[in-house]
Amino acid sequence: MKEEWIRDYIHLLVQEGIAVQPGQEVVIVANVGIEKEVAMAVEECYQAGAKYVYVDWRSEAVNRVELQLGNEEVLSQVSPMAYALAKWKADDLPSLLWLSSDDPDAAKGTDPLKTARIAQKQYQQIGAFKKATNNKITWCIAGIPSVKWAKKIFPDLSPDDAVEALWKAILKTSRAEEGRGIENWKKHDEELKKRCEFLNGLRLKSLHYRSQNGTDLTVGLIPGVRFLGGGEATIDGRYFEPNIPSEEVFTSPRRGEAEGIVYATKPLIYKGTMIRDFWVRFHEGKAIEVYAEEGEEALRSILTLDEGSAYLGECALVPYDSPINNTGLLFYKTLFDENAACHLALGMGFTELYPDFEKYSDEQIHSFGINDSLSHVDFMIGSADLSIVGKTENGEEVQIFKEGNWAF
C-alpha cells in the first residue's frame, strides 16, 4: 500500500473525522501494534494546531490474561489512573479518535459473563463522566489493519498480503482511494443529508420490518425526532464525521414500542466474543427472548448491563447494495459490518436527535421516549429482501425499503 495513500487517509480522519481545531486537545485510542499509523495521526493532529495529543494504548493480549487470571472484584474497580483520565475527558472535552484494529478472536478463552459484569460495575463508577461528553466533543472511529484482523478476513493470504488486502478494502469502503477521501466524503455527506431531509418530511410514527428469514418487527418512533446521517455537529457547532466509513441514516425509536422478532444477518463481535446466527424477540419495547447458535451467553449479557440495555436505542437504514456489502467481505468489525446493511442497536439512544435538544436536560429527553443506557450495541438485520414500511402520523403507509434497498 502506498504510504501517501495511508497518510491521506489519516489526514481525512483528523481533518474531517474529528475536525481538529487550533489549541484543541485530542485523545487517540489504539491497540499496540499499529504504532506507525498512530504516530502519523499524532503528527496530523499537531500539524492541525492541536495543543496536546494523548495516546491511550490498549493491549488485547494483556486484557485476555487479565480476564483469564485476574480477580473479578479487583478488575471491577476503576483504577485511580483510569478514573482521573475519565474525569479529565469530561472536564476538558478533548476530541476522540479511535483507531480500531481489534483481533476478532481476541476474547477466545475468556468468560463473556465475567467481562459483562466487570463492564457493568465500571460503568457505574465512570459512566457519568462518559455521558458528560455527549454532544460536546468531536469524535471519530475508523479502521487500521492489524495482522490478526487481516488474517481473519483473508486466511489464505500471507500476513503481509492479508494486511495489504485489508488496507485496500478499508480505503475503498471509506471512500478514500488514491487520496481522494476529503473530496469524496463531502459528496457522500450531501447524499446522506438528502435522504434525511426526505424522511424527516414524512413525519413517521412507526417502521415495520419484514424479511423472509422470519423478521417481523414493528418499532415506534417519536414525533419530531430526526433522522440523521453522515456528519454531525456539537452543541457549539463544530462539524465532524463520527464514523468512517458510514452509509447509514439513523434515528432513535420510542422506548417501549417494539413488537415482534428480528433475525440478525451478520455475526456480531461483542467485546471480542463472536455471536452468530441469532434472533431477538421484543415485547412492549423490551428484548424478552434471545437465541444464538454461537455466543448466546454473550448476547444475554448485553441485555443486563443496565436497566435500558434491553431496549432499542437506534434504527439505522443502510442499503443492501452498499459499498461495504458489495465487497463480499465479512469484516468481523461492527464499524464496517453495520454499514453493509440495515441494523438496530440495543441500549443508548441519541439525545441530539430530539428537536431543540439543547434546551432540555438529558433526563427530560429520556422522559420523552429516547432510551437511556450506558451501553450501545449494534447488530445487523439487513437482507436482500428486507421490506420496511413507514406509517405516518396521519396513517399513510410509505415504502421506505424494498428488496433490501431504498424505495425512493
Residues in the chain, how many? 408
Cα separation, 73 vs 95, in Å, equals 32
Domains of the chain: 3-179 (3.40.1830.10), 200-406 (no CATH)
Q: In angstroms, what CA-CA distances link 272 with 111, 159, 279, 353, 381?
A: 11, 21, 19, 30, 20
What pLDDT score was predicted for residue 272?
72
**Phi and psi for 62 in degrees, rounded to 5?**
-65, -40
What pLDDT score was predicted for residue 19?
97
- Integer-rounded Cα Rg, in Å, for the chain is 20
What pLDDT score was predicted for residue 42?
98
What pLDDT score was predicted for residue 269?
86
What pLDDT score was predicted for residue 57?
97
Per-block mean pLDDT, blocks of 10 residues, the chain (408 long): 92 97 97 97 98 97 94 97 97 98 90 85 90 92 97 97 97 89 92 96 97 98 96 93 96 98 94 90 98 95 92 97 94 92 96 92 94 92 98 97 96
What pLDDT score was predicted for residue 331?
95
Q: Which is nearest to 380 in space by CA: 226, 269, 229, 291?
A: 269
Facing residues of 208 across strands?
218, 389
Which DSSP letter does residue 18 get? Answer: S
Cα separation, 67 vs 52, in Å, equals 32
* Long-range contacts, 350-353 (Cβ 8 Å, 24+): 350/228, 350/250, 350/252, 350/313, 350/314, 351/134, 351/135, 352/134, 352/135, 352/228, 352/232, 353/225, 353/226, 353/227, 353/228, 353/251, 353/252
> pTM higher than 0.75 for the full model?
yes
Neighbours of 235 (CB within 10 A): 12
